[in-house]
Amino acid sequence: MKKWLTGFLSFSMISMALAGCGSSEQPKDNAAGGAAKGEPQKLVISTWGFSEDFFRKEVYEPFEKEHNVKIVLEIGNNAERLNKIRQGSSDVDLIYLSDYYAQQGIESGAFEKIDRSRIPNLSEIYDIAKAPLGEDYGPAYTIGQFGIAYNPNVIKTEIKSWKDLWSPEVAGKLTLPNITSTTGPMILDAASQVAGSKEFNEDQAFAKMKEANKGVVKYYDKTSEYVNMFSQEEIAAGPIMEMYFKDIQAAVPEAKFVTPEEGGYAVMNTVNIVKGSKNKELAEDFINWQLSKDVQEKTAKAKVDSPVNTGVKLTDEEAKGVTYGEETINKLHKLDMKFVNEHSKAWIDRWNREITQ
């Protein structure tokens, strides 16, 4: 059976000095018309819309000023936004998507191939973030960790492993992601691991999910559902992305986030240029800006996104709730998104028949 988990590559620190904000590495009068006088160019960015005020002030406005650009946002979830550009009903130049959906975009021919020579800050990021879906397509600008959160006031036994989600003490207090969510395939793979398979085994994974099913309060589709259930003590444990743990801890200060001893999973958000964009070079300038040490440090310290720029240095306090550092990154598992997309329909059908019937 095809192996669909690949380990993270070790990355090497780049010895060259960082130049701060990425735009400074390119002339202001570049081909994209960065500092051209007169009416500003329009750059349309498709994104999720979370922390919009932060991004507007700390990321978009400085770029607009530097490049004489007006940034316009299109907001929505992954599926909605990807479908819109596939249908050609949008003038989007640049799109943010999780790697799961970005792979679908690649397979449907929705993206331009990027010119890596125009994005010098690529040399400053973790190797695994440089080309998560191939050299022709966009980088991951942030890597989140999918691990486990639990309430030690309710779950008295320390949770250390994925297999602990199958323990009797957790039964009736557990939530798991739905298979249709970004992290659904990750819990399916974790179930395969718990079943004892070194390589993904679909039958063993589903058999293990059936065992867990009777102890699951609800399969969640949105993180807000998880946070609400945890806050109200409807649940006391379940896997979640680390970036949302701060919301859980705000409601339950004693809550703990755990990187399972087998390793967490990498949730990679990518940025790509939409096919047919009339502002391709300007979009590449923006990708370079997004990867710069200055922008990456601001978003990390605000706990908005985990950094991929290796020049970002955080204190222990700043790193809380952020997926940060070589040791953490190297322990993460990465799913083969091409394999996931090839099998997702069959998994969803089987999930609906055998798990949530």
* Residue 150 CB neighbour total at 10 angstroms: 27
Residues 76 and 173 in one domain: no
Q: Are residues 208 and 75 part of one domain? A: no
Listed residue (354, 333, 279) closest to 143, CA to CA: 333
Q: What is the pLDDT of residue 3?
A: 42
Give the model's confidence band at 37: pLDDT under 50 very low, under 70 low, under 90 confident, else very high.
low
Higher pLDDT, 220 or 8: 220
pLDDT confidence of 25, banded at 50, 70, 90? very low
Is 59 part of any domain? yes
At 79, give phi and psi (nearest 5°).
Answer: -65, -45
Q: Tell me the pLDDT band of 19, cut-offs 50, 70 and 90.
A: very low
- pTM as predicted: 0.81
Give the pLDDT mean for 2-7.
Answer: 41
3-state secondary structure the chain: CCCCEEECCCCCCCCCCCCCCHHHHCCCCCCCCCCCCCCCEEEEEEECCCCHHHHHHHHHHHHHHHHCEEEEEEECCHHHHHHHHHCCCCCCCEEEEEHHHHHHHHHCCCECCCCHHHCHHHHHECHHHHCCCCCCCCCEEEEEEEEEEECCCCCCCCCCCHHHHHCCCCCCCEEEECCCCCCHHHHHHHHHHHCCCCCCCHHHHHHHHHHHHCCEEEEECCHHHHHHHHHCCCCCEEEEEHHHHHHHHHHCCCCEEECCCCCCEEEEEEEEEECCCCCHHHHHHHHHHHCCHHHHHHHHHCCCCCCCECCCCCCHHHHCCCCCCHHHHHHCEEECHHHHHHHHHHHHHHHHHHCCC
**Considering the chain, what is the average pLDDT of its residues?**
89
CATH code at position 217: 3.40.190.10
Looking at residue 321, its pLDDT comes to: 85
More confident residue, 16 or 269: 269
| pLDDT of 4 higher than 80 | no
**169 and 50 inside one domain:** no
Does 2 reside within a domain?
Answer: no
Check whether residue 121 and residue 156 sit in a common domain. no
Instruction: Kindly state whether residues 206 and 261 are assigned to the same domain.
Output: yes
| Residue-level pLDDT at 293 | 98
Q: Quick check: is 331 in a domain?
A: no
Least confident of 15-19, 106-110, 206-210, 345-349: 15-19
Q: How confident is the model at residue 5, as a pLDDT?
A: 40
pLDDT over 60 (residue 102): yes
* Residue 284 and residue 180 share a domain: no
Residue 105 covered by a domain: yes
Distance of CA 205 to the CA centre of its chain: 23
Give residue-wise pLDDT tens across range 335-354. 999 999 999 999 999 999 99
Contact assessment for residue 97 and residue 341, using Cβ atoms and an 8 Å cutoff:
no
Within 8 A by CB and 6+ apart from 205, the residues are: 188, 189, 191, 192, 195, 197
What pLDDT does residue 6 have?
A: 41
Asked whether the predicted pLDDT for residue 307 surpasses 60, the reply is yes
Q: Are residues 139 and 273 in the same domain?
A: yes
- 78 and 184 co-located in one domain: no
Nearest 5°: the CA angle 129, 318, 175 is 70
- When pLDDT is averaged across residues 33-41 and rounded to a whole number, the result is 66
Per-residue pLDDT at 327 exceeds 60: yes
Where residue 243 falls among pLDDT bands split at 50, 70, 90? Answer: confident
96 within domain boundaries: yes
CA distance 139 to 94: 12
pLDDT at 17: 35
Are 158 and 113 in the same domain?
Answer: no
Looking at the structure, tell me whether residues 151 and 245 fall in a common domain.
yes
Q: What is the pLDDT of residue 290?
A: 98
Q: Same domain, yes or no, for 222 and 133?
A: no
In a domain, 72, yes or no: yes
138 against 29, higher pLDDT: 138
For residue 237, pLDDT beyond 60: yes
- Report the interhelical angle of 78-86 vs 99-107 (nearest 10°): 10
Structural domain for 257, as ranges: 144-265+336-354
Mean pLDDT, residues 266-273: 96
Percent of the chain with pLDDT over 90: 83
Above 90 in pLDDT, residue 251?
A: yes
Mean pLDDT of the region 8-29: 37
Residue 2's pLDDT is what? 38
Q: Average pLDDT in the 100-125 region? A: 96
> In the chain, how many domains are there?
2
* Residue 9 domain-assigned (yes or no): no
- pLDDT tens figures, 191-215: 999 999 989 999 999 999 999 999 9
Q: Do 113 and 65 belong to one domain?
A: yes
215 found inside a domain: yes
